[in-house]
Amino acid sequence: MTIRTLLLISITALIVGCADQHQIDPETGFVVRNFDLNQIKRGKAVYDANCVPCHGVDGVGTPDWRKTGPDGKYPPPPLNGTAHTWHHSTAVLKKTILKGGPPEFGSMPAWEGKLTEQQVDDTIVWIKSLWPDEVYNVWFNNFEGKD
């Protein structure tokens, strides 16, 4: 193989490897979500069994989640795209679920050892599926691929 052929193959591989692997909807300009529907179903089941008591049905959160309680801690926020969950990368969301939230700010328990890694991943996908397209698009452009 010649140096020119190797160079051409290398450049082609680089271009293909760096190409955006996600589709953009030409009408909305938003990233097309290619979630696995089975993963969403599994995530919803895990969420319903473990997270509803604090974060509410469909991730609506606690009514006054922006105000500290008598203990000085914040109550559970919504996860449906109306609060700050989408301000965090997937890695941070996963760490928060596994290790718990900062104890000085809230009472998010650690789920490590109680949920499998797959259950946590499924739950995060389900949470992301709740976010409005505009919110998901901003999240994607700020965090996807940066974990």
Residue 15's pLDDT is 33
Do the domain assignments include residue 13? no
Total Cβ atoms within 10 A of residue 62: 17
Residue 17's pLDDT is 36
Are 25 and 32 a contacting pair, CB within 8 Å?
A: yes
Do the domain assignments include residue 1? no
Residue 25's pLDDT is 87
Alpha-carbon gap, residue 30 to 23, rounded angstroms? 9
**CATH label of the domain that carries residue 120:** 1.10.760.10
Are 61 and 55 a contacting pair, CB within 8 Å?
A: yes
Are 37 and 120 a contacting pair, CB within 8 Å?
A: no
Do the domain assignments include residue 65? yes
Residue 136's pLDDT is 96
Residue 2's pLDDT is 58
Residue 21's pLDDT is 56
Do the domain assignments include residue 85? yes
Do the domain assignments include residue 16? no
Do the domain assignments include residue 31? yes
Do the domain assignments include residue 75? yes
pTM higher than 0.75, yes or no? yes
pLDDT tens-digit readout, 83-110: 999 999 999 999 999 999 999 999 999 9
Domain that holds residue 136: 23-143
pLDDT tens-digit readout, 118-127: 999 999 999 9
pLDDT tens-digit readout, 3-34: 554 333 333 333 333 334 578 889 988 999 99
User: How many domains is the chain partitioned into structurally?
Assistant: 1
Mean pLDDT of 121-142: 96
Mean pLDDT of the chain: 87
Do the domain assignments include residue 17? no
List the single range of 9-13, 72-76, 112-116 with lowest mean pLDDT.
9-13
